[in-house]
């Protein structure tokens, strides 16, 4: 990996290429859309600065997606609760199963999130209370 700073001739194209690659576009498509040679993009991807930029964009896209899914999940649970209250017996059963099937996964996620939070808040050389 090249450790030189990422300084393309056209910074705008470098920015757009990083965004497009981070969002999942192929090197071939990005090169074609931006009028670049594929070899140029492959060279950029060997550059630590460019690669870091792509990863930052990818992390931001992922964070935004998780936020949208979280908001939608609250609405989805509301729909399931309403179906449990107002639906036929078969619909009530299906809604109840849908909720109960996801409960262990969500509980595990919450537990792991808390453990990570505790680990990250622990100073180096100091043990977290949950691990003692």
pLDDT tens-digit readout, 90-102? 999 999 998 888 8
Mean pLDDT for 58-82 is: 90
Measured CA to CA, the distance from residue 9 to residue 75 in angstroms comes to 47
Torsion 72-112-54-7 (CA) sign: positive
Residue 93 pLDDT: 92
Number of domains in the chain: 1
Domain range spanning residue 41? 1-70
**Would the pLDDT of 15 be above 70?**
yes
Q: Across the chain, what does the average pLDDT equal?
A: 87
Q: Is 83 within a domain?
A: no
Residues 6 or more apart from 46 whose CB is under 8 A from it? 1, 2
User: Residue 101: its pLDDT value, please?
Assistant: 87
Is 0.75 surpassed by the pTM of this model? no
Task: Please report whether residue 85 resides in a domain.
Answer: no
Residue 127, pLDDT score? 57
Residue 6 lies in a domain: yes
Residue 37 lies in a domain: yes
Could you tell me if residue 62 is inside a domain? Answer: yes
Q: What's the confidence (pLDDT) of residue 124?
A: 67
pLDDT at 41 over 90: yes
Q: Is residue 48 part of a domain?
A: yes
Whole-number pLDDT of residue 9 = 80
Helices (H), 48-123: 48-86, 89-121
Range from 50-54, 80-84, 100-104, 121-125 carrying the lowest mean pLDDT:
121-125
The label of the residue with tokens 């450790």 reads: 3
Between helix 27-34 and helix 11-22 the angle, nearest 10°, is 150
């Amino acid at each position: 990996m090249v450790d030189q700073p990422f300084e393309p001739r056209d910074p705008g194209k470098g920015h757009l290429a990083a965004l497009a690659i981070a969002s999942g576009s192929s090197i071939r498509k990005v090169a074609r859309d931006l009028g670049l040679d594929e070899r140029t993009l492959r060279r950029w991807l060997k550059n630590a600065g460019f690669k870091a930029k792509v990863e930052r964009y990818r992390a931001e896209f992922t964070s935004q997606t998780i936020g949208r899914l979280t908001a939608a999940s609250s609405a989805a649970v509301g729909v399931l609760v309403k179906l449990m209250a107002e639906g036929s017996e078969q619909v009530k059963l299906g809604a109840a199963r849908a909720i109960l099937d996801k409960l262990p996964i969500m509980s595990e996620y919450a537990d792991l999130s808390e453990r990570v939070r505790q680990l990250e808040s622990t100073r180096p050389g100091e043990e977290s209370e949950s691990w003692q």
